[in-house]
Amino acid sequence: MEITRVLDAALRKAAAVWITSPGHGPRLVHAHWRADSLWVITGGTEQDVPGLADGAQVTVTVRSPSTHSHLVDAQAVAHLTEPDDETTQALKTARLNTKPEWEAVYRLEFSA
């Protein structure tokens, strides 16, 4: 799957995105762009994302970090996963303002 240049550039700079899952309104969530996938941690001390489940098709909305204007909407499929040690450390490092403790990790892969 080819990630568009606009989506790739936007996700590299975004610390948070809006996720809309079927039957639920958009939810602002902390996310981490890594290895052409968007990683989202949920539960515990992290956000609750209603409707985010293994195999769920979601819409990811990215806004400009400087102007907060809408940049891009993209379709993705969520995969419940167990991250490797390097990804786990990257997820913890990305959450500078808190000690992250999560119940689930989802890797969002973007549709073609």
* 90: confidence class by pLDDT, cuts 50, 70, 90: confident
Structure tokens of 97? 């303002």
Band of the pLDDT at 1, cuts 50, 70, 90? very low
Q: Cβ(18)–Cβ(27) under 8 Å?
A: yes
Q: Is the pLDDT of residue 12 over 60?
A: yes
Helix then strand count (H, E) for the chain reads: 2, 7
Give the pLDDT confidence score for residue 38 in this predicted structure: 93
* Average of per-residue pLDDT across 94-110: 85
- Is residue 95 within 8 Å of residue 105, measured between CB atoms? no
pLDDT tens-place string over residues 36-89: 899 999 988 888 999 999 999 999 999 877 777 888 899 999 999 999 999 888
End-to-end CA distance of the chain: give it in Å, rounded: 6
Write phi, then psi, for 107 (nearest 5 degrees): -105, 115
Cβ–Cβ under 8 Å, residues 56 and 78: yes
Taking the model in full, what pTM does it have?
0.86
